[in-house]
Amino acid sequence: QCVLTGHWINDLGSNMTIAAVNGKGDFSGSYHTAVTATSNEIQVSPLQGSQHRLNQKGQPTFGFTVNWSFSDSVTVFTGQCFVDENGKEILKTMWLLRSRVDNIKNDWKATR
């Protein structure tokens, strides 16, 4: 069974901590990125998320939002928690980052 609660590190060295998942599937935590496109000093940032709790196979889908403390950006992640053949828990995610732009004419370059 895959459990989201705990400390996770990705291939780039970013890390996050997820606190307990409540009965509704909601959770919170923190994210410390190792990569950024800004020159601002990287800071630990809060995250809020939700896990699909009706998954009977123990490999739940989930999503969370990180509100970056050091920039005018927000990232949303969505993914699934897997258990590999060796019993290791692995999160596979996709993300979208939205940066603030000065006007609607620059909207095209605001989402990665």
Tens-digit pLDDT profile for residues 36-67: 777 778 889 999 999 987 656 788 999 999 99
At 57 the pLDDT is: 72
Asked whether 27 and 16 are in contact (CB, 8 A), the reply is no
Residue 56 CB neighbour total at 10 angstroms: 6
Q: Which residue has the tokens 């959770």?
A: 27
Asked whether 72 and 100 are in contact (CB, 8 A), the reply is yes
Three-class secondary structure of residue 109 per DSSP = helix
Asked whether 54 and 66 are in contact (CB, 8 A), the reply is no
Kindly state the DSSP code that residue 111 receives in the 8-state scheme: B
Structure-model confidence comparison of residues 53 and 76, the more confident one: 76
**CATH number of the 6-109 domain:** 2.40.128.30
Tens-digit pLDDT profile for residues 79-92: 999 999 999 999 99
Model pTM score? 0.88
